Amino acid sequence: MKRRGNILNYFAILVDDNFKKILSKLLKSFFIIFTSITFFIMTTGIVYLFKVANEVVEYDVKASKMHLSSIIYELDENDGEYKEATRAYDIENRIWVNFENIPNYMKDAIIAIEDKRFYEHRGVDWKRTTGAAINLFFNSNTYGGSTLTQQLIKNLTEENEVSLTRKIKEICRALNFEKKWSKDEILEAYLNVVHFGSGCYGVQAAANKYFGKDIEDCSIAECAAIAGITQNPTLFNPFLHPVNNRKRRETVLSEMFSQAKITQSEYNKAMEESKCMAFRNANAKDSNRPEFVRDWYTEALINDVINDLSAKYKLSKSAAQKMVYTQGLQIYSCVDRKAQKIAEDVIYRSDTLEGDKKLELGYLMMDFDGKILATIGSRAQKTANSLFDRANYAKRQPGSAIKPISVYAPAIDLGLYDYHSTLPDSPLENFFGPGKPGPRNWYGGYKGTVSLQWAVEQSANAPAVQALRKLTNKKSYDFLKEKLGMRSLTEADLSSMPALALGGLNIGVTVREMVAAYQIFGNGGIYNKPYTYLYVLDRNGKVLLDNRDNIGIRAISSKTATVMNRLLRNVITSGTGKAANIPNWDIVGKTGSTNSSKDSWIIAMSPYAVAGIWTGYNLPKKLSSTVYSKLVWKEIMSKYLADKENKDYSFDDDAMKEIDPEAMNKEEDVETFKVMESANTDTRENNEVDFEFSPE
């Protein structure tokens, strides 16, 4: 028994020792892991806080105060110098008023209701911030902790998400902002930038809108009414909710009195005025000044500068717009004024589109480095600003114009096809669903096997779908989005062969996107993001935006670019784009139309520039003919090239050696080619992709 007991004790000790060793290892491992994770989190947090602590909002308060219009410079063809062409005026309801012209009652009203310790803190009121944090902990929202400086930052950036990260960034930006600008400058900017409802930015615009007077002529009660709006520009808008505005302005007056900013008699008089305050008619016009109408190019240019300033400097679109209109920027335009005028003269002429006044159009031309040379957003002459731009913003289905960029270019680049390849002209069994084959070809029936040259030239649907099946939807989709910058494609497009092969996209694409995509066929395969300005300087000459050293990305090889260029040449010489051919010039391109010919496209190029045209109706319906877009394109490009010396594209020598100019005469294509040549030309051009997404 004793020996047995000793053995048990021995095992107990052994087990106990092993357990201790295992436990010790586990604890050490846990400590190492915990320490590593803690160190990583702390390091990441410190790096983040250091980065955030140095964040600044680029906004020139003094420049805005001066209300300097930005100058747009254009290249003078005669001497090659940039000269002032026009100025960017503020056409919105935004009127800057200097600090000394804002009545003290207005300043006091805002400070009293929004930030009573404004002149005491350095951008952040830590007492209010702590109170706001406690309220948040107890799920209360009785008041916020933002100072006027923080609110100004929030208005300049329009970052409104409710998160601790945003609040930390806002605090750091406010602290840095107060290091650069004085309290009076910040208050002046706040009173001129913040939204006061009804499209009014700043107290001067608000005074004009609600009372029909300048802010310096407003009474204490009227200043309180304006100050009360900013907390919630909809809820306290006097036009929309007069009762709410009265309660709010009387709260403002009470705060002004309790903080000794007004006397008892001033308070009593203001409260009496508040009982029956009269506001201006909500529909009254704010100004009788004539509107300066910008042309389509200038408006696109200004929009690009605003969008890029907003993205680069983390400003709201509203703040970026104010920079352009009030801070005296120097904007160097890419416009080719000759190209723009030619396009305007052709498109605005009444007989260009055979008198169909409702037929609309979008046009854009760019060079092979990405510079937009000309653009027009409507076939009607521009008579107002901020009209809908059908070249830069309208998204329409591109039809067969998408085939070269969604199917053939990426497939050739991957080595699936070359210039001399053949592919099936036959339907897919379940294209429209189980037991529903397709797609149809515009010429009816199928040819069996055709050359790639012929399929591209005649815009055949079935071969394009067969090529997409071999390429795969994923590779096509990724090519369009990642290489050619088409951001409007959706997940629905990814899974849709009709979308990718035939251009029936879920949302659509713009003329600008299509023209930019096609540049790769004229410059050796490089995609350059399109741009309307070379660079932008602030009033002191500091570079804010710069496109001069932009480096494009390689979308396809130079060999593929050359092969596609020659394939698309066939489209113009003997295919669906014959109506756009210009004698003695090497014109390359592709046409496209959509279901029942509701949209008509041509994207084509000369060795000098690539241009695109979309024609259709605002409310899609069948076009009487799709030849209009080709005729307009030809007339514009012919006039643009009239005084230019002929030249060649940048071809890949190896690719040119492999391309047989007599390929279309190969025996297997002779019969098919003869059939196509016997077809009526107008019919071919008007029905190239007249397919339906269902067989019925």
* E strand or H helix at 669: helix 667-678
| Cis peptide bond N-terminal to 463, omega within 30 | no
Residue 280 vs residue 29, higher pLDDT: 280
> What SS3 class is residue 42?
helix
Which percentage of the chain shows pLDDT scores above 70?
A: 79
Confidence check: pLDDT of 691 > 70: no
Average pLDDT over residues 103-111: 95
Per-residue pLDDT tens over the stretch 609-624: 999 999 999 988 888 8
Per-residue pLDDT tens over the stretch 538-562: 988 999 999 999 899 999 999 999 9
Q: What distance in Å separates the CA atoms of residue 636 and residue 349, rounded to the nearest whole number?
A: 12
Place of tokens 């309208």: 394
Place of tokens 């357990």: 19
List Cβ neighbours of 513 (8 Å cut-off, separation of 6 or more): 484, 485, 486, 488
Confidence check: pLDDT of 404 > 60: yes
Confidence check: pLDDT of 673 > 50: no
φ, ψ (nearest 5 deg) of residue 385 = -95, 160
Q: What is the pLDDT of residue 2?
A: 54
Q: What is the pLDDT of residue 20?
A: 65
Q: What distance in Å separates the CA atoms of residue 622 and residue 597, rounded to the nearest whole number?
A: 5
pTM: 0.70
Q: What is the pLDDT of residue 314?
A: 87
Average pLDDT over residues 670-688: 38
Q: Which of 379, 377, 345 is nearest to 359 (CA)?
A: 379
Task: List Cα–Cα distances, 103 to 29, 219, 407, in angstroms.
Answer: 68, 9, 65
Q: Which of 505, 497, 468, 477 is nearest to 595 (CA)?
A: 505
Per-residue pLDDT tens over the stretch 310-326: 999 988 888 898 889 88
Task: List Cα–Cα distances, 521 to 99, 366, 527, 529, 574, in angstroms.
Answer: 56, 13, 10, 15, 19
Question: What pLDDT band is residue 138 in, cutting at 50, 70 and 90?
Answer: low
| Domain 99-275 class, CATH top level | mainly alpha
The tokens for 655 are 């690719």
Q: Is 603 exposed, middle or buried (0-12, 13-18, 19+ CB in 10 A)?
A: buried
Q: What distance in Å separates the CA atoms of residue 234 and residue 587, rounded to the nearest whole number?
A: 55
Least confident range from 151-155, 207-211, 400-404: namely 151-155
Average pLDDT over residues 107-130: 88
Per-residue pLDDT tens over the stretch 451-499: 999 999 999 999 999 999 999 999 999 999 999 999 899 999 999 999 9
Q: What distance in Å separates the CA atoms of residue 530 and residue 610, rounded to the nearest whole number?
A: 12
Q: Is 666 exposed, middle or buried (0-12, 13-18, 19+ CB in 10 A)?
A: middle
- What pairs with residue 614 in β-bridges? 362, 601
Q: What is the pLDDT of residue 663?
A: 40
Q: Is 671 exposed, middle or buried (0-12, 13-18, 19+ CB in 10 A)?
A: exposed
First-to-last alpha carbon distance for the chain, in angstroms, is 95
**Are 395 and 509 spatial neighbours (Cβ–Cβ below 8 Å)?**
yes
Question: What pLDDT band is residue 683 in, cutting at 50, 70 and 90?
Answer: very low
Q: What distance in Å separates the CA atoms of residue 673 and residue 667, rounded to the nearest whole number?
A: 10
Confidence check: pLDDT of 285 > 70: no
Q: What distance in Å separates the CA atoms of residue 450 and residue 443, rounded to the nearest whole number?
A: 14
Q: What is the pLDDT of residue 32?
A: 61
State the SS3 of 307-337: HHHHHHHCCCHHHHHHHHHHECCEEEECCCH
Confidence check: pLDDT of 661 > 90: no
Q: What distance in Å separates the CA atoms of residue 113 and residue 253, rounded to the nearest whole number?
A: 9
Q: What distance in Å separates the CA atoms of residue 86 and residue 595, rounded to the nearest whole number?
A: 42
Q: Helix 220-229 crosses helix 203-211 at what angle (to 10 degrees)?
A: 110
**Are 325 and 88 spatial neighbours (Cβ–Cβ below 8 Å)?**
yes
Whole-number average pLDDT of the chain: 84
The tokens for 664 are 């279309």
Domain limits of the chain?
1-53, 99-275, 373-686
Q: What distance in Å separates the CA atoms of residue 221 and residue 253, rounded to the nearest whole number?
A: 7
**Are 237 and 198 spatial neighbours (Cβ–Cβ below 8 Å)?**
yes
* E strand or H helix at 538: none
Average pLDDT over residues 106-132: 86
> What SS3 class is residue 290?
coil
Least confident range from 158-162, 371-375, 533-537, 582-586: namely 158-162
Q: Are strands 330-333 and 70-75 parallel, antiparallel or unpaired?
A: parallel
Q: What distance in Å separates the CA atoms of residue 519 and residue 280, rounded to the nearest whole number?
A: 54
Q: What is the pLDDT of residue 676?
A: 38
Based on C-alpha coordinates, what's the Rg of the chain? Answer: 33
- What fold, for 373-686? Beta-lactamase (3.40.710)
Confidence check: pLDDT of 123 > 90: no
Task: List Cα–Cα distances, 512 to 5, 160, 372, 613, 669, in angstroms.
Answer: 91, 31, 9, 10, 36
Best-predicted range by mean pLDDT (31-40, 48-57, 148-157): 148-157
Q: What distance in Å separates the CA atoms of residue 672 and residue 684, rounded to the nearest whole number?
A: 14
**Are 61 and 186 spatial neighbours (Cβ–Cβ below 8 Å)?**
yes
Question: What pLDDT band is residue 63 in, cutting at 50, 70 and 90?
Answer: low
Report which residue type is found at 437.
P
Report which residue type is found at 620.
P
* E strand or H helix at 225: helix 220-229
Which percentage of the chain shows pLDDT scores above 90?
A: 57
Task: List Cα–Cα distances, 652 to 517, 617, 657, in angstroms.
Answer: 19, 40, 9
Q: What distance in Å separates the CA atoms of residue 561 and residue 568, rounded to the nearest whole number?
A: 10
Per-residue pLDDT tens over the stretch 348-389: 985 656 667 789 999 999 999 999 999 999 988 898 888 999
